[in-house]
Structure 1
Amino acid sequence: MAENTTLEERPPSSVAILESLERIYKDLPMEAIVKQDILRQGIHFLPESFLGVGNYKAKDYFIFSFDHIPLADLKDGADTKAPEEIKISGGHFGLLKTVISTRNNPHSPYKMKSKEGVPTLYLEETEIGQAEYPPIPSWYRHKTKSGKLPGEIAPVIEWGYLIYLTVFRNCQYFGKDEECAYCDINHNYRQQKGAGRPYTGVKDVEDILEVMSWIAAEDEIAKVYTITGGSVLTSLKKKSEVDFYLQYPQAIESAFPNRWMGKLVAQAFEKEDCQKFKDSGIAIYHPNYEVWDKNLFEKICPGKASFIGWDNWIRRVVDSAEVFGPSHVIPNFVGGVELSEPYGFKTVKEAIDSTKQGLDFFMSKGIVPRFTAWCPEPFTTLGQQAGPPLVYFCELLRAWKETFETYQLPTPPGYGDPGPGKAVFSVSAFMDVIGYSGRN
């Protein structure tokens, strides 16, 4: 089916398409197929879907917007009331509980309504599943000595499993000649501030430690923290990029040794700098390579290509495995961006063939890439264009799963339990397919 699928063939989601893919991709759980479709299309939350559901955790906009339209254009409460994630189950396909990141899109065919007082997701007139919204952690009731709310400093995602510390909410790759073409970190910061929301650009170590102390005392769900933020090309707060990011795990691990598993999402550093993070207590390293094809990397990640370069980036990823161990190096790529216009491949087959080369390169070395599903956000260089067809994501999941199984690799650490009905990673379905044996 992927052989002849071109960019022009991006049919809107329908139950018929889902049913056809259910028959074709029997090696993929239906939870993963539906999840990828919802991620690529977003959700239209009707006002009724916010009523009668009690308190729940709304979107903290923890790094990117992940919305299909600007915050200022969201209506009917979606700008403040949309949940961080949803967990759907049951419905037409009898889904096991599936955690999916919220991406607001008032034009989506997926509509969240209310059925007998319960949020329920529909595609056309068909019920896809009843929805749960994530609970608010008890420690969200506090406020720091500096007056900051916990969700601004150390929000949780993945149904409470991951503490997400975006310690620098901008990026020094700036403007279309440097910014990654799919990324809206700088734009999201501006729109959050423009909306009058508290949105701290550079987070103080003291604020983070204060919130982490509440988590340590009150929370049993959070198991991992991620330290991340934009790239630092010169200096930030009179510190180099390495020293700036290093201060956070050093402080956290000093105050709460081994309380959580520490992860770092940052640029690809040289081995000696990786060792500093390993020594500080960071266990998992995500030097995201974004897109495998070298020519696309230079077009889509112009700043990274200019300052570090594709060859150096890939070498550093491989070298970092000597420091952290191959299974603890988990670089991300942006699933679907290799089909973006105007630079991307013209067919799904070309895109998958390229991406699979990268998967095989890394997995043959014991390094397991993960991916997030590309969301065309309006303020990015790539702008509001149609995302990839659903068949692309099915082919990508199949390629990922087959390569993972070929090399008999362990489940990536720091992501919780794998498999349908268990996975909490919410921005792609790579964890949902692990261990799935197929259906008749």
Structure 2
Amino acid sequence: MTSPNRTALVEELMGRFPQVPPEAVIKEDLLRGGMAFDDSALSGGDDGDVKPKSYFIFSFDHRTLPELGAAALNRPPEEIVLTGGSYGLRRTVVSVRVNPDSPYVVRAGEDGALGLYLDGTRIADVGLPPMPDYYRHTLANGKSVMEVAPTIQWGYLVYLTVFRVCQYFGAKEECQYCDINHNWRQHKAAGRPYTGVKPVEEVLEALEIIDRHDTAGASKAYTLTGGSITSQVGGRDEADFYGHYAKAIEERFPGRWIGKVVAQALPRDDVQRFHDYGISIYHPNFEVWDRRLFELYCPGKERYVGRDEWHRRILDSTEVFGARNVIPNFVAGVEMAEPFGFTSVDEAINSTAEGLRFFMSNGVVPRFTTWCPEPTTPLGKANPQGAPLEYHIRLLETYRATLEEYGLTSPPGYGPAGPGRAVFSVSSFMDSLSADEPVAAGAE
């Protein structure tokens, strides 16, 4: 992603797809290819004034920690917010994915103000997330709130990765784009606190601190997630393991947050347990639509469940949660990963659109994460440049058109929709949907 003509490509795509907000074009390019940081833009670490990157589940970086140098020792921010600049950007929240070779660089200008530079030209003002007050408090055992219950999406979502590894392990079972197991290993090797299984008591204590000090009520939802469980953890199967956290949270903080769980597509009785424990939204992620690619990219899920059964269980779960509250994710971009993926954007979009129509025709609104080609994964190693930006822009166009075709709206639990309003930071699908009222360019 080091081409000096990146600006020309970005502007050409903005011109070809004027219905896609320019904010989304820039955001997708940052998410797919990463951003570099000048030392002046790093967070200052855990004790500074800027909220640092928490590595809440995956690395979401284009280099390993040892290869990041200063960006690993003096952490980059969790997210950045873009406004103004040459494209008149409305407020746009972007998850930070570090790539030292990116043509996008965050640095201070001559006036000391941070900006986003593309090919050496400043294209936007950059805001950094302030260190939340609750991050300045520790649990009784000395652990930080950020380690136990980090918040993302500009504070909207408490992200509870309570199981930091995945039982789909090794080349024959791990999803080929996923670095959850490596991310755990690299943090342990670096001597960073990175708890494998978070005790329920610690989660509740961290949430109490957040609830007490989040006086503005910025946090609106929590997500319970982690690696897949094919046997048991602590004597519990997957539904009971993640469910017993939900039960404890809902009993201690009834109605305080929207409760969400990311888990495998489980049988209906297990899904019912999630609902009974107090979960409001269920994310049984389908990962990639194409049958052949699912079998190749998700060998463990194909072996233990199978693609057709996975999809059947997703639809069955709507009878428990209601279609609107079943929101499966897919990893946007892996459709074009070499050597097995589609070789043209048209083919990739047609395949993904088929999946969107399948789910949306049943009232289910998927969402997606923009693929970050992490270097320790098989697909990341083979495709360090990720998918073409055109694929991501056309996906936004296709997603919105399909949503409108079936008379559906943005899914719940993701904050407001629309450019200038969205806080969902790991893809631009919420930035690309319509908002009730327009937002002025450069608005904070």
Match of 2:119 among 111, 114, 124: 124
Q: What amino acid is the match of 1:202?
A: V
In structure 2, distance between residues paired with 1:269 and 1:137: 36
Q: Partner of 1:135 in structure 2?
A: 130
In structure 2, distance between residues paired with 1:276 and 1:179: 26
Q: Partner of 2:318 in structure 1?
A: 321
Q: Partner of 1:161 in structure 2?
A: 156
Between 41-50 and 364-373, report the one with greater CA deviation.
41-50
Q: Partner of 1:388 in structure 2?
A: 387
Between 117-126 and 293-302, report the one with greater CA deviation.
117-126
* Matching of residue 340 in structure 1 with residue 337 in structure 2: yes
Q: Partner of 2:83 in structure 1?
A: 89
Compared CA separation, residues 335 and 11, structure 1 to 2 (3 A): farther
Compared CA separation, residues 12 and 255, structure 1 to 2 (3 A): farther
**Equivalent position SS for 1:81:** coil
Q: CA deviation at 1:125?
A: 2.3
Q: Partner of 1:109 in structure 2?
A: 103
Q: CA deviation at 1:209?
A: 0.4
Q: Partner of 1:43 in structure 2?
A: 35
**Equivalent position SS for 1:77:** helix
- Structure 1 ranges of 4+ moved more than 3 A: 9-13, 50-54, 77-80
In structure 2, distance between residues paired with 1:247 and 1:309: 26
Q: CA deviation at 1:18?
A: 1.6
* Matching of residue 289 in structure 1 with residue 286 in structure 2: yes
Match of 2:243 among 235, 242, 246: 246
Q: CA deviation at 1:11?
A: 6.3
Q: Partner of 2:420 in structure 1?
A: 421
Matches within 5 A, 1:296-315: 296-315=293-312
In structure 2, distance between residues paired with 1:345 and 1:232: 31
Number of aligned positions between the proteins: 430
CA contact (8 A) 1:41 1:109 kept: no
**Equivalent position SS for 2:282:** strand
Q: CA deviation at 1:52?
A: 9.6
**Equivalent position SS for 1:377:** coil
Q: CA deviation at 1:48?
A: 2.1
Q: CA deviation at 1:58?
A: 0.6
Q: CA deviation at 1:146?
A: 2.2
Q: Partner of 1:434 in structure 2?
A: 433
**Equivalent position SS for 2:380:** coil
Between 273-282 and 185-194, report the one with greater CA deviation.
273-282
**Equivalent position SS for 2:427:** coil
Q: CA deviation at 1:436?
A: 6.3
State the Cα RMSD in Å.
1.8
* Matching of residue 412 in structure 1 with residue 406 in structure 2: no
Compared CA separation, residues 75 and 18, structure 1 to 2 (3 A): same
Q: What amino acid is the match of 2:242?
A: Y
Match of 1:372 among 352, 369, 374: 369
CA contact (8 A) 2:25 2:393 kept: yes
CA contact (8 A) 2:139 2:145 kept: yes
In structure 1, distance between residues paired with 2:418 and 2:410: 10
* Matching of residue 57 in structure 1 with residue 51 in structure 2: yes
Q: Partner of 1:198 in structure 2?
A: 193
Q: CA deviation at 1:136?
A: 1.6
Q: What amino acid is the match of 2:144?
A: L
In structure 1, distance between residues paired with 2:304 and 2:80: 38
- Unaligned stretches of 5+ in structure 2? 439-444
In structure 2, distance between residues paired with 1:183 and 1:27: 32
Match of 1:223 among 210, 220, 223: 220
Q: CA deviation at 1:411?
A: 2.0
CA contact (8 A) 2:35 2:104 kept: yes
Q: CA deviation at 1:81?
A: 2.1
Compared CA separation, residues 418 and 436, structure 1 to 2 (3 A): closer
CA contact (8 A) 2:117 2:124 kept: yes
* Matching of residue 175 in structure 1 with residue 170 in structure 2: yes
CA contact (8 A) 2:265 2:285 kept: yes
CA contact (8 A) 1:13 1:109 kept: no
Q: CA deviation at 1:13?
A: 6.1
In structure 1, distance between residues paired with 2:344 and 2:42: 39
Q: What amino acid is the match of 1:387?
A: G
In structure 1, distance between residues paired with 2:435 and 2:200: 41
Q: What amino acid is the match of 2:70?
A: D
**Equivalent position SS for 1:92:** helix
CA contact (8 A) 2:338 2:379 kept: yes
Compared CA separation, residues 110 and 10, structure 1 to 2 (3 A): closer
Q: What amino acid is the match of 1:432?
A: D
CA contact (8 A) 2:52 2:78 kept: yes
Identity %: 53
Q: Partner of 2:441 in structure 1?
A: none
1:94-140 CA-partner distances (Å, limit 9, x unpaired): 10010000000000000111022222110012212111111222111
Q: Partner of 1:148 in structure 2?
A: 143
1:254-309 CA-partner distances (Å, limit 9, x unpaired): 00111100000010011111111111111111100000011100000000000000
Q: Partner of 1:400 in structure 2?
A: 399
Match of 1:278 among 275, 280, 302: 275
Compared CA separation, residues 51 and 197, structure 1 to 2 (3 A): closer
In structure 2, distance between residues paired with 1:192 and 1:11: 32
- Unaligned stretches of 5+ in structure 1? 1-8
